[in-house]
Amino acid sequence: MNNNRLPMSTGMEWLRQSCRIMAKAPLAIFGVLGIYILLLFIANIPGEYLKIPYAGILISSIVTPFSALAFAGCGRELTQGRIPTAIGCYAEGFKNPAVRNKLILLGLIYGLCVIVINFIVQALSAPAIEQWKAVNGVYDTASILSHLPWAGLIVGSVLYVTLLGVTCFSPMLIAWRGMPMAKAFFFSLIVCFRILGPIVTLGLLLFIMATGGAVVCSSLGGFGEMLVIIWALFITALSYGSLYPMWRSVFEPDTRPIS
């Protein structure tokens, strides 16, 4: 494990490595993304048709750790000289029953935390939102701006960012390092705080690419909306593709980067 703090420019290298993963294994990366989207769609069906509150969030959250492990697995397979496949990368989380059960529990914990954060944000935001005034069924912009739910926004952002830090590397730590779940949560959060600078750099780069690409695509006329969707899928794959470069720079620093 690399105990040194990484410079902010490392975020650019993560993005380059993600581009190389996509260039070398496009079918695997976009295959994993396609399976992920399909599973999320299926996971939301019970909640939609049975009208069970938050069922979609809980079931969708179970899918997320397996998908994160699959995305990271694409990069790991390439560094080990193998051509990854979407099915093979997804199957990695199911091979070991102990790992599979921990990933399912991880997903449920993540989903429950999202629901709790949502309740907290709603409770903190309610007093400000009650001050918004509606004119002819449309909320007045001035009343919204003068009563922004800052408490809900700030507390919710801090809690959700912390949750992302806790779960960012946890699937890989559980599957590849055999860590107990609590220890994986702790290590994932500590590592994310240590590499916060590069993470911010990566996030800004992805945001600039996503926004700039969407503006360009939407200005192209008739096919603009379709191009925006395609561009959004590309950016999503690119962001998830950076999981293994992030993992490698901290937990496998001696592994050769993908060239």
- Most confidently modeled of 3-7, 80-84, 155-159? 155-159
Looking up tokens 């909320």 gives 139
* Average pLDDT, integer, range 168-184: 95
Which run of H or of E encompasses 32?
Answer: helix 26-50
Under DSSP, the state recorded for 138 is E
pTM higher than 0.75: yes
Question: How many structural domains does the chain have?
Answer: 1
Q: Please enumerate in sequence order all residues whose Cβ is within 8 A of that of 58, keeping only pairs 6 or more positions apart, or say none.
A: 108, 111, 112, 115
Q: What is the pLDDT of residues 132-175, one digit of tens each?
A: 887 776 777 777 778 788 888 999 999 999 999 999 999 999 99
Question: What's the whole-number average pLDDT of the chain?
Answer: 89
Is 188 contained in some domain?
yes
What local confidence, expressed as pLDDT, does residue 238 receive? 94
31 and 81 Cβ atoms separated by less than 8 Å: no
Is 211 contained in some domain?
no
User: 92: domain range?
Assistant: 24-196
DSSP-derived secondary structure for 51-89: --TTHHHHHHHHHHHHHHHHHHHHHHHHHTT----HHHH
Give 57 or 201, the one with higher predicted confidence: 201
Q: How confident is the model at residue 51 (pLDDT cuts 50, 70, 90)?
A: confident
Give 147 or 60, the one with higher predicted confidence: 60
Phi, psi of 82 (to 5 degrees): -115, 150
Is 94 contained in some domain?
yes
Q: What percent of the chain has pLDDT over 90?
A: 67
* Tokens standing for residue 70: 């699959």
Is 236 contained in some domain?
no
113: amino acid identity, one letter: C
Nearest to 169 by CA among 185, 146, 148: 185
Q: What is the pLDDT of residues 245-259, one digit of tens each?
A: 999 999 887 777 776
Nearest-angstrom CA–CA distance, 257 and 109: 33
Give 105 or 79, the one with higher predicted confidence: 105
Q: How confident is the model at residue 3 (pLDDT cuts 50, 70, 90)?
A: low
DSSP-derived secondary structure for 191-229: HHHHTHHHHHHHHHHHHHHHHHHHHHHHTTSTTHHHHHH
What local confidence, expressed as pLDDT, does residue 259 receive? 67
